[in-house]
Structure 1
Amino acid sequence: MIGLVIYVDDLLITGNDYEEIKKIKHMIDTKFPIKDLGNAKFFLGLEIVQNDLGIYVNQRKYILDLLHDSGLMGCKPTNTPMIKGIKFEDENQDILCDPSKYRRVIGRLLYLNYTRPDIAYVVQQLSQFMQKPLLCHWNAALYLVKYLKGTTSLGLFYPYENDSSIIAYSDSDWGSCVETRKSITGYCICFGKSVISWKAKKQATISRSSAESEYRSLAATVCELQWISYILNDLNFKLQLPISLYCDNKAAIHISENPVFHERTKHIDIDCHVVRNQYLAGFIQLFHVQTKKQVADIFTKALDFAQFQELRSHLFLQDIHLKGGVLR
C-alpha cells in the first residue's frame, strides 16, 4: 500500500514497502524533475518529527511567526484560549480601524487549527466577524495568540503502538448564538490514543430543543465517521464495529434507539435520522457520558481553566520540546 499526498508542487509519500516507494520516486523523477528531501520534516508549515515511538506534528515555527508579526513575543501567556462567558453581541463597541490586520490573524489561526483542536471553538467564533470586526473581536484574537505563546510546542502525536479502535464524542451548545439562536455543533473522533478529526461549527438551522440540537450534532458526527470508514476501507484496514459514540443528552440517545420517539420528533429533518439507520446497522453504539467528562464540550463553549485543561488532556495533545530533531 502506497499513499501520496500532493499539494501543488509539494509531495508526501508513505507506505509499507520502502522498495516500492523508491520505485515510485524514480518513476515520478523521470516525468518531472524532483528534489528528494528524505524523511519528512517540514510540509506546508507543519513540523514533523519521527522517532521509535511515533510521529509528532506541530506548527511551532508558524506560531512563533504569528507572535512576532503580532508584536506579542514578550507577552505574558494566558491559561485558556478564551475568557469564559464572553459575548460578542454588543454592536455599540468601536469598529476596528484596520480590519485587514484582524483578517490576517484569523486566516493564520484557521490554518493553525489543523494541528490544534484546542483552539477550534475560539477560531470558529472569531471567524464570523471577518467582514466587520469590532475592537472586542480584536482583543479576543490577541487573547488567543497569548494562549499560543504558552503552548508553542503543543501538537498531535501518533504513536506506532496504538489501539485500533475508534471512539467519537458529540456535543452541542443549544441556541448559543445570540443573534441567530442557532446552536454550535462540536465533535471529535479518536483513533486509539490519537485524535484524527474534530469540528466546531454553527448549525445551519435553528433547533427548537436541546435534544434536537444534540441530535443534529450526532448526525454530523455519524456522517464524519462514515467518511473515515470509507478511507480506512480503501487502506485495507478492518474497522472494529460498532463504533462507540458518546453523547451527554439522554433524549437524543433515546430518539436514536427508540422508534416510538420518532412520532414526537417529526420537526427534525429526515436526513438527521441517519443516526438511527447506522445504529440499527450496527455501525455505531451510543453511550451516555457525564457533561463534565464530555470531551466534545471543548468545541462548543469557552471553559474555565480547570475544565479546559481536563478536556484538553483527552485530546492527546502533547507538549514536546524539539531538541536536535529528537523527541525529548
Structure 2
Amino acid sequence: MIFVQVYVDDIIFGSTNENLCKKFAKLMQNNYEMSMMGELSFFLGLQVSPKDDGIFICQSKYVKALLEDSSPAKTPMATPTKLDQDKSGKKVDISSFIGMIGSLLYLTASRPNIMFATYLCERFQNDPKESHLIAVERIFRYLKGTPIFGIWYPKNTGFDLTGYTDSDYAGCRIDRKSTSGSYQFLGRRLVS
C-alpha cells in the first residue's frame, strides 16, 4: 500500500513497503522535474518528527514567527468567557483582525486545544470590537507560552474508536445557539 498527498507543487508519499517507495520516487523523477528532500520533516508549515514509538506533529516554527513580544497566558481563553456582539464597543481594524483569525485557524491543524476559543472569536470577523481583539490576543499569549505543543501519534495503540464530545447548550449570547465539539481517536491517535 502506498499513500500519496499532493498540494500544488508539494508532494509527500509513504508506503508499508520501502521498495514501493523507491519505485514510486523513480517513476516520478523520470516523468517530472522534482527533487527528493528525503524523510519527511516539514510539510506545509507542519513540522513532522518521526520517532521509534510514533510521530509528533507541531507548528512551533510558525508560532514563533507569528508572535510578537507579549506575556504568556496559561489558557487560550479565560473561563467563563462569553463573547457577544458588543454593539457599543470600540471598533478595531477588520483586516488585521481577520488576519489574526486566519493565522489561528491555520494553527488548529496541530493545535486542537485552541479550536474552541478560535472559532468563538471567528464569529465576530464582520464587525470586530476591542473586546473580541482582547480575546484573540489572549489566544496568542497562550501560544507564546506553549509554542512546542502539538499532536502525538503513537505506534501500536490499537484500533478502538473512541469519541469525546462537549456542548454548551444555548450558550451563544447573540442567537442562543448551542456550541458543541468532538474529538475522535483511533487507539490513542487523534483522527478527527
TM-score (norm 1): 0.57
Distance apart, 1:85 and its partner CA: 2.0
Aligned residue number for residue 5 of structure 1: 5
Match of 1:87 among 77, 82, 86: 82
In structure 1, distance between residues paired with 2:80 and 2:160: 35
2:179 aligned with 1:178, yes or no? no
Write the mapping of 1:159-238 to structure 2, written as runs, cut at 5 A.
159-197=154-192
Does 2:163 correspond to 1:156?
Answer: no
CA distance in 2, matches of 1:32, 1:185: 45
Output the aligned Cα RMSD. 1.1
Q: SS of the residue aligned with 2:123? A: helix
Kept after mapping to 1: 8 A contact 2:63/2:147 = yes
Distance 2:44 2:175 in 1: 36
- Looking at structure 1, the residues matched to 47 and 76 of structure 2 have their Cα atoms a distance apart, in angstroms, of 22
- How far 1:102 moved relative to its partner? 1.1
Answering whether residue 46 of structure 2 is matched by residue 46 of structure 1, we say yes
1:131 and 2:126 are equivalent in the alignment: yes
Greater C-alpha radius of gyration: 1
Deviation at 1:161, TM superposition (A): 2.4
Give the CA deviation at 1:115. 0.6
For structure 1, list consecutive stretches of 5 or more residues without a partner in the other structure.
Answer: 198-328
Of Structure 1 and Structure 2, the greater helix share is in: 1
| Cα distance between partner residues in 2 of 1:125 and 1:191 | 27
Contact 2:82-2:172 at 8 Å conserved across structures: no
Equivalenced residues, count: 191
Does residue 1:101 correspond to 2:105, yes or no?
Answer: no
Residues in 2 aligned to 1:44 and 1:143: alpha-carbon distance in whole angstroms: 26
Q: What letter matches 2:90 in structure 1?
A: D
How far residue 65 of structure 1 moved from its aligned partner, in angstroms, is: 1.1
Percent identity, please.
Answer: 32
Structure-2 residue corresponding to 1:113: 108
Cα shift readout 1:219-264 (whole Å, capped 9, x = no counterpart): xxxxxxxxxxxxxxxxxxxxxxxxxxxxxxxxxxxxxxxxxxxxxx
Q: CA deviation at 1:126?
A: 0.9
In the alignment, the residues of structure 1 paired with residue 88 and residue 172 of structure 2 have an alpha-carbon distance, to the nearest angstrom, of 18
Letter in 2 for 1:13: F
Give the Cα separation in 2 of the matches to 1:88 and 1:20. Answer: 52
Report the residue type matching 2:8 in the other structure. Answer: V
TM-score, structure 2 length as denominator? Answer: 0.96
- Give the Cα–Cα distance (whole angstroms) in 2 for the partners of residues 81 and 171 of structure 1: 17
2 CA distance for matches of 1:52 and 1:86?
41
SS of match in other structure, 2:5: strand
1:18 counterpart letter in structure 2: E
SS of residue matched to 1:148: helix
Structure 2 distance, partners of 1:129, 1:31, is 48
Matched letter for residue 32 of structure 1: Y
Q: 1:66: Cα distance to partner?
A: 1.1
SS in 2 for 1:48: strand
Structure 2 gaps, min length 5: none
The SS at the match of 1:171 is strand
Partner SS for 2:191: strand
- Runs of 4 or more consecutive aligned structure 1 residues displaced over 6 Å after TM superposition: none
How far apart are residue 36 of structure 1 and its match?
A: 0.4
Q: Which residue of 1 aligns with 2:141?
A: 146
1:131 counterpart SS class: coil
The SS at the match of 1:4 is: strand
Take 1:171 and 1:83, find their aligned partners in 2: how far apart are those partners? 17
- What SS does structure 2 have at the residue aligned with 1:29? helix
CA distances 1:110-160 after superposition (whole Å, capped 9, x unpaired):
010011111110111111111111111111111110001111111111112
